[in-house]
Homo-oligomer: A and B are copies of this chain.
Amino acid sequence: MEHTSVYNTADAALTLQEWLQHKDYSRIAVLVDEQTRKHCYPLIQTALPKHTLVAIKSGEEQKNMGTCQVIWQKLTEGQFDRNSLVINLGGGVIGDMGGFCAATYKRGIDFIQLPTTLLSQVDASVGGKLGVDFEGFKNHIGVFREPAAVIVATQFLQTLSMRELRSGFAEIIKHCLIADAQMWEKIRKRDLDQQKWDELVPHSIKIKQRVVEQDPTEKGWRKVLNFGHTIGHAIESYFLAQPKRKLLHGEAIAAGMIAEGYLSVQRNLLPEKQLHTIEEFIYSVYGKATITNEDMEAIAPLALQDKKNQKGKIRCVLLEAVGQPLVDQEISLRDIKEALQFYQGAV
């Protein structure tokens, strides 16, 4: 797979303008949600040639086939041909869904990612994974396809709430835990508001790119990026169905990393001392989500739908040490429940 061009920039509008100068698209659409329409679109609007604004509601619950049909319809009505471009201006929902719609419209037109959340800057916009949720399962329908470009502008981070910033930070923690013990030592000694995004964002993107290049369609090593996600996604799916108990992606992944860290210790892989540093830091940043015994019973089976499983066996990433992940580690429903109990402090 080709290496996608990632532009780290302080001025998204300027970079976008320069990039478009060398292209000759017949139609351009900009996909936004309510948030990015208000806070981010004004920052790039004047840099763009004639374009169609496609606005959808904000939120993960919009990331479904119904919204895709609305997007495809707008492109069809606008007579977008194969030589058109879709610019996805937003977080993971916009990038994943807008990318999927572009990758399937007339069997694929160009799209560029302009990630506006920390989470999408360090995770969703790199690696070519596109898709939407289906029947409560995250990213269940999708494709792999690289964007024509990714423009990462930390200026957009100023439009985020502290909670959203904290959610994205979970992926940075993950990248350190699977690939850079030194950087882990740095970040765990700083509070959230002391973190240096201008340094951390490109660092995280580089780790992800290095992994994805080796294994673009996730047959093997790319699975390391899934650390914290087997249990984390199950937690996230569960809370998604309970609108009153909202949990952001990174908050669920943070819990998942503690749970999978615990299982790493149980298998005599990760030294207990390292787990303590992980626990300590994650609890200090995220606090602890309340997960009852009843919740745990419902959460564990949701991990059966993880895309990395094979033959009904749940597989996750465990750590031998900070910076040293192992993929394809089989775990049971019982392991998951026990790990969630550890997370809640009951083991």
Q: A72-B134, A108-B217, A305-B76 are in contact. Are A81 and B143 (CB under 8 A)?
A: no
State whether the Cβ of A69 lies closer than 8 Å to any Cβ in chain B. yes
With CB as the reference atom, state the residue of chain B lying closest to A141: B104
Interface of A is mostly: mixed
Q: How close is A347's CB to chain B, nearest CB, in angstroms? A: 29
Interface residues of A in 105-162 (CB under 8 A from B): 105-108, 129-131, 134-135, 137, 139-144
Give chain B residues whose Cβ lies under 8 Å from the Cβ of A106. Answer: 140, 142, 307
Asked if B144 and A108 sit within 8 Å, CB to CB, the answer is yes
Query: Per-residue CB proximity of A304-335 to B under 8 Å, as 1/0?
Result: 11011111100000000000000000000000
With CB as the reference atom, state the residue of chain B lying closest to A69: B65
State whether the Cβ of A188 lies closer than 8 Å to any Cβ in chain B. no
State whether the Cβ of A277 lies closer than 8 Å to any Cβ in chain B. no
Q: How far is the CA of A153 from the CA of B73 in the complex (A)?
A: 38
Interface-central residue, A69, A83, A311, by most chain B CB under 10 Å: A311
State whether the Cβ of A26 lies closer than 8 Å to any Cβ in chain B. yes
Q: How close is A9's CB to chain B, nearest CB, in angstroms? A: 29
Q: How far is the CA of A215 from the CA of B308 in the complex (A)?
A: 32
Size of the A side of the interface (Cβ < 8 Å), in residues, is 37
With CB as the reference atom, state the residue of chain B lying closest to A308: B82
Give chain B residues whose Cβ lies under 8 Å from the Cβ of A73. Answer: 135
Question: Nearest 6 A-B pairs (CB), nearest first?
Answer: A26-B311, A106-B307, A107-B142, A104-B141, A83-B310, A81-B309
* 13 residue pairs A–B, Cβ–Cβ below 8 Å: A26-B311, A76-B137, A81-B307, A81-B309, A81-B310, A81-B311, A83-B310, A104-B131, A104-B142, A106-B307, A107-B129, A107-B131, A107-B217
